[in-house]
Structure 1
């Protein structure tokens, strides 16, 4: 009996397996981001980051064509981020965080394309969700807990523990003052992030909640279950709208249509279909068919007056879609662009290009400076006008007082003459 194990001939491997092996061989010895030299000086319009079952983290640059009808998707980095399956990815400022079944959170500076470090030892289970808000980051885990971190120095601040099972999802309110978490124990907990304490707990019924999101206004939140999504009013924590479908939901995202001036929820399902739902009626208003396998994750990014949906499937394909076009048209919608990772994708996030965000910030700062200058000038003019009015009033009083003073002087003269 031959004790030596025979390696599988390359000829027997599929094209996808060969491509995947080449990627793994290329990045296996790397411990930092691998920028593509051709893209180092290219300013991306927006970027998509995808985590995979194969432990690889993909950074994809998206660049518009001249008339902004298509995007070119090219990898700017590929990294072997973890020793286990990547479960979640999130971006906050210039930080990228990935969480895995290896119980580690890896941190990267995606602006400089460098590895920043890792956070380990505070969770004793798979990392299930990561969310940023301002200077803070929340991480959820299979160990029933949520950890609060400060991004300034990555100080561990607080362990939020009240769930009785795996925490599936967390969502931070737009104000940053409270957060919502849902878990396998079929409860939703409201956390006061100012005090780091539980504010309230709500039982959700028989189905396990998988995902929770706030709308942009912060007056409603949505909880995704296996085949339904409940949209709740913050005022009374009661379900205002219910979305249902026969196919299992894997992902959802809120977005606000500027053209229609209303909120929608976009979902990805087991049946390979992306759907857009009216949050007021719970009706499906659009179906987008473009993936060959289940739609695992979606992300929404606003760039150049367009609302772009980035979707990723178990088929390894990343596709971008124009959501406003999808709402406006009735025929089949073509993707803006696509890229094949040749891996089993598990999660996705996106952000506007740093050059654009810096330009927007500069424009906002300049606009704020102009407004401040105008306000200062208006205040100065108002003060000057008030001072002028006071001086005029004083002059008027003095003028009105002169006849009275003259009469008093004449009266004194008369009295003195009589004496």
Structure 2
């Protein structure tokens, strides 16, 4: 694992250390901030992670009430993660990674709520995006590059070079074989992750692409610009649908409605509104108005049969929403909320580890039971076959003995 990269200028290091010391003092002196081991036995249904301009990383546990009509949100960790503004957060398995303007990627074990280490020295610019897929992690940067890491031992594998300006966003196809990245050079690059080489470069026009996402099926991809989102066909890279808003879009996510059996895109915007769009027509089919400032980031997590949208505004207020209900009720109320009292910059979420372990245990028990049933059936079949073979063999033996006599 690489050690934290040292800046070339001594005064930059001094400023950085002084800044970090100030944050640590703030955390240590505030009774509202919990240490990472404060809540050891809490059982979360899902967890929300928020990065902030103040360099603090919030881990917020969500627990459903008995009626599953609301969630209680409470912090399980608040960490002075970086010496610069946190730009991106991502979760892969039990690892949490955060990227910052300090050019460092910090790693945490969110299951144990412990710091794991840091990756530095491979990027020479702000970390703009981090994505996990399987056993790998990709990090994008202002330095025009994308780095590929192996999460097993955090070995640095390769630098993907192709953009001529800042890389804004990267997305891995559901198969894990290819990835898409967009940058300030107004291009989208398709990467072959099997070889680590670029497969194609597509020019996108005059507007700068900000975020790229694959749809759940991996058949289309969407690119977010300032006030529009273009959805492209994979087959010909042509625009299939365009979503347009009057207000600037800060964040968007795909989700699949089980009730309507359709895919939608949800956006968070400058005008404090969350919108749900039909991906076929591009039409806005529902709006959620519950924030007092711009909706800075959104994330989606499935929990207890519900599709939960988690949104955070620039004032640091986190709110949870039932997306299925939002599609049918324009006056939907939040399921729960929490105020970080910081300027939020990014957000992610994951299913609760206690839930994962319970489900894994149930699946393992079911698999063991199925295997036992299978073995029992196989044993019975084998016994029956032996009996039939024995019964068939006896008359033949008698006939042979008769001839010998």
Report the secondary structure of 1:42's partner residue.
Answer: coil
Quick one: distance in 2 between partners of 1:105 and 1:25?
22
8 Å Cα contact 1:55/1:82 also seen in 2: yes
Give the drift of 1:71. Answer: 0.9
- Which residue of 1 is the match for residue 342 of structure 2? 343
Q: 1:371 to 1:187 in 2, by over 3 A?
A: farther
Q: Where do 1:78-117 residues align within 5 Å? A: 78-117=78-117
Q: 1:220 to 1:394 in 2, by over 3 A?
A: farther
- Which residue of 1 is the match for residue 36 of structure 2? 35
Report the secondary structure of 2:108's partner residue.
Answer: strand
Report the secondary structure of 1:362's partner residue.
Answer: helix
- Which residue of 1 is the match for residue 69 of structure 2? 69
Root mean square deviation, CA, Å: 2.7
Quick one: distance in 1 between partners of 2:391 and 2:246?
79
Quick one: distance in 2 between partners of 1:25 and 1:332?
43
Give the drift of 1:256. Answer: 1.0
Moved more, 363-372 or 140-149: 363-372
Unaligned runs of 5+ residues in structure 2 are 1-21
Q: Where do 1:131-150 residues align within 5 Å? A: 131-150=131-150
- Which residue of 2 is the match for residue 325 of structure 1? 325
- Does residue 239 in structure 1 map to residue 248 in structure 2? no
- Which residue of 1 is the match for residue 184 of structure 2? 184
Q: 1:379 to 1:340 in 2, by over 3 A?
A: same
Which whole-Å deviations, capped at 9, do the CAs of 1:52-97 have from their partners, x for residues lacking one?
1111111111111111111111111111111111000001111111
Quick one: distance in 1 between partners of 2:360 and 2:26?
37
Quick one: distance in 2 between partners of 1:264 and 1:382?
50
8 Å Cα contact 2:37/2:113 also seen in 1: no
Report the secondary structure of 1:339's partner residue.
Answer: strand
Quick one: distance in 2 between partners of 1:381 and 1:178?
48
- Which residue of 1 is the match for residue 14 of structure 2? none
8 Å Cα contact 1:28/1:80 also seen in 2: no
Q: Where do 1:219-298 residues align within 5 Å? A: 219-298=219-298
Quick one: distance in 2 between partners of 1:368 and 1:230?
43
Quick one: distance in 1 between partners of 2:60 and 2:335?
14
8 Å Cα contact 2:103/2:125 also seen in 1: yes
- Which residue of 2 is the match for residue 414 of structure 1? none
Quick one: distance in 2 between partners of 1:388 and 1:205?
76
- After TM superposition, the score normalised by the length of structure 1 is 0.84
Q: Where do 1:309-388 residues align within 5 Å? A: 309-329=309-329, 331-377=330-376
- Which residue of 2 is the match for residue 415 of structure 1? none
Q: How many residues align?
A: 382
- Which residue of 2 is the match for residue 130 of structure 1? 130
Report the secondary structure of 1:355's partner residue.
Answer: helix
Q: 1:315 to 1:372 in 2, by over 3 A?
A: same
Unaligned runs of 5+ residues in structure 1 are 1-21, 410-419
Query: Between Structure 1 and Structure 2, whose CA radius of gyration is higher?
Result: 1
Report the secondary structure of 1:357's partner residue.
Answer: helix
Q: 1:92 to 1:390 in 2, by over 3 A?
A: same
- After TM superposition, the score normalised by the length of structure 2 is 0.87
